[in-house]
Amino acid sequence: MTVATPRDLEPQLQEPLQPAGWLRYFSFSLDHKVIGLQYLVCGFFFYLVGGLLAGAIRTELATPLSDFMPRDTYNEVLTLHGTVMIFLWIVPVVNGAFGNYLIPFYVGARDMAFPRLNAVAFWMIPPAGLLLISSYFLAGAAAQSGWTAYPPLSLTTPAAGQIVWILSVLLLGGSSIFGAVNFIATVLKLRRPGLKLMQLPMYCWAMLGTSLLVVLSTPVLAGVLILLSFDIIAHTGFFNPALGGNVVVYQHLFWFYSHPAVYIMVLPAFGLVSEILPVHSRKPLFGYTTMVYSIMAIVFLGLIVWAHHMFTSGTPPWMRLFFTIATSFIAVPTGIKFFNWLATLWGGKIALNSAMLFSCGFILNFVFGGITGITLAQVPFDIHVHDTYYVVGHFHYIVYGGTVFVIFASLYHWYPKFTGHLLNEDLGRLHFVLTFIGFNLCFLPQHWLGLNGMPRRVAEYDPTFSTLNQVSSVGALIMAISTLPLLINVVVTALYGTPAGDNPWNALTPEWLTTSPPPVENWSGEAPLVTEPYGYGQHQPAGPSSHPLTPAA
């Protein structure tokens, strides 16, 4: 389906200074597809780092005493695990990797609005990540106050590590803001003429909403971390009660970012799963318009619910009431999306391949995490389980059972687009089964632990909790093993993979209407105008040679 045009005869149009082959992935490339894959591979590297740290945590917690590592080290490992997983794996991959790769295709552009800014945003990440990890070796001690860095704890733990942590998070936040500016400008300003907002694939809407959240909330985190660094370096008293400061102000400003951060991690996953489900069930996405409005409702509500993290911080009753009600409201748009996904699957011609299995796993895990989220929004219950393993179980169901499952689904779905080769389905299904079992075995028992009062973030616990902790640690081991089929799959596919063709899933979204992998400027001719990205089974059977939207067959 490649269209020969005069442009094919002009290879010099491609950026002449960029190295060719795999070396371009280590260059300051301006191509959105190269940058997207840079985000993906860099993120996956940090996923392995964060996974090793998680393994260390679960090994320590396999027994009640802190016998695997000293308690200080446990605090460092715990802090690094959270920070690496959030700021170096989930946020960059689910936004930066798939966003950069897919959004220009979806709006019919040849690149992002600001390619140079895009490359800068990516290249801020590896140094920031190495800085963060190096604090463990260089500064004497890494940050020990958790990913929340609550003062006064973060004022009393070793200062050098905390400052390196702040610096690293500021860099990653800056990268995230640059990326968001780029996504907003691309979706709103770079759409090809004739393509309306309500004809965009759902992932565009998800990234628009996510980027609005990044632009509105990440700067507040940057501001509060600058104030915290003043407290550490210059001994001001913003958050130091001994000097007349106010720790609750830190919590408000921190959660004004960090609650929306949950949506910054999960909204793009909503978008990605909305792309995957219609393709593999051969049905249009159910309720497109309600999907769009639910995303925007989640963006709005996401900005006004932050204090539900602070019900035990002396929050006044009116504030508890408001934030409980606002938080419970989020169940409405989220529930709409959940039922829309089910309705998309309903009666479809479902292909139970790896992408679909991980997507269904996501739906199951996410609805469970959503229900525990509603319980946590209720003040009396929250006061009982605050700072316990119930909370740990809940948010891992959202960020791992939700977002990471979708990242894996997306990997199986878009890998043929990235490389031109399909991943092996048997290994993919094995990867899914191990991940699903390991994940639930690891995090489901933590809800019981939390209800019974096991506090989070502590290296030692009462021996009565040991059975469930051992179950959880076995689950973590299975999760670690589940990474192996994926790694083997990628290596085997790279060596022996059979070509997938340009559109192995017979998908209708624009990225599939070009070669795999796509040429430097995405299409050798004009971009195809796709106004019905989910038009499955409506007009005529879809196929790479017969379906109606190919550019000039």
Partner 1 sequence: MTSISSSSAASAASGSTASASTTRTDSLLPEGSEHLASQESADAHHDARLFGLATFLVADGMTFAGFFAAYLTFRAVNPLPEGSTYELELLLPTINTVLLLVSSFTFHRAGQACRADQLSKARSWLLVTGGLGLAFLAGQMVEYFTLPFGLTDNLFASTFYALTGFHGLHVTLGAICIGIVALQTRPGGAISASSHFGLEAAELYWHFVDGIWVVLYGILYLL
- Site for partner 1 contains 483 (CB under 8 A): no
Q: Is the peptide bond before 333 cis (omega within 30 degrees of 0)?
A: no
H-type alpha helices, 108-158: 115-123, 125-134, 153-156
Contact 420, 493 (CB under 8 A): no
**152 belongs to the binding site for partner 1 (CB under 8 A):** no
Which stretches of 452-517 are DSSP H helices? Answer: 466-496
Cα dist. 17→12, 13, 30, 115, 123 in Å? 10, 11, 11, 15, 18
Q: Does 172 bind partner 1 (CB under 8 A)?
A: no
Interface residue with partner 1, options 76, 502, 511, 521 (CB under 8 A): 521
Per CB under 8 A, 321 contacts partner 1: no
Phi, then psi, of 467 in degrees rounded to 5: -60, -55
Of 108 and 475, nearer to partner 1 (C-beta) is 108
Which one of 51-59, 113-121, 320-328, 354-362 is the stretch in contact with partner 1 (CB under 8 A)? 113-121
User: Could you say which residues in the range 73-112 bind partner 1, by CB under 8 A?
Assistant: 110-111
- Binding of partner 1 at residue 529 (CB under 8 A)? yes
Residue 214 or 276: which CB sits closer to partner 1? 214
One-letter amino acid identity for 246?
Answer: N
Using CB under 8 A as the binding rule, the residues of this chain from 209 to 248 that contact partner 1 are 214-220, 222-224, 226-227, 230, 234-238, 243-246
527 lies in the binding site for partner 1 (CB under 8 A):
yes
Distance CA 230, CA 227 (A): 5
Q: How far apart are CA 289 and CA 285, in angstroms?
A: 10
Element holding 50 (H helix, E strand): helix 32-60
Is the distance from CB of 376 to CB of 423 less than 8 angstroms?
Answer: no
Interactions with partner 1, residue window 9-28 (CB under 8 A): 10, 13
Among residues 365, 398, 404, 411, the alpha carbon closest in space to that of 51 is found at 404
Nearer to partner 1, 237 or 517 (CB): 237
User: Taking CB under 8 A as the rule, does residue 188 contact partner 1?
Assistant: yes
Name the residue nearer to partner 1 (CB basis): 155 or 411: 155
Binding of partner 1 by 196 (CB under 8 A): yes
Query: Does residue 194 belong to the site contacting partner 1 (CB under 8 A)?
Result: yes
115 binds partner 1 (CB under 8 A): yes
Q: Determine, following the binding rule CB under 8 A, whether residue 526 of this chain makes contact with partner 1.
A: yes
- Report d(CA 39, CA 95) in Å as an integer: 9
The pair of structure tokens assigned to 12 is 């010099």
Which of 90, 103, 184, 204 binds partner 1 (CB under 8 A)? It is 184
The reply on whether position 252 binds partner 1 by CB under 8 A is yes
Residue corresponding to tokens 């004004």: 256
Which is it for the CA torsion 225, 231, 236, 238, positive or negative? Answer: positive
* Interface ranges with partner 1 (CB under 8 A): 3, 5-7, 10, 13, 110-111, 113-115, 117, 177, 180-182, 184-186, 188-190, 192-196, 199, 214-220, 222-224, 226-227, 230, 234-238, 243-246, 249, 252-253, 256, 521, 525-529, 531-532, 548-553
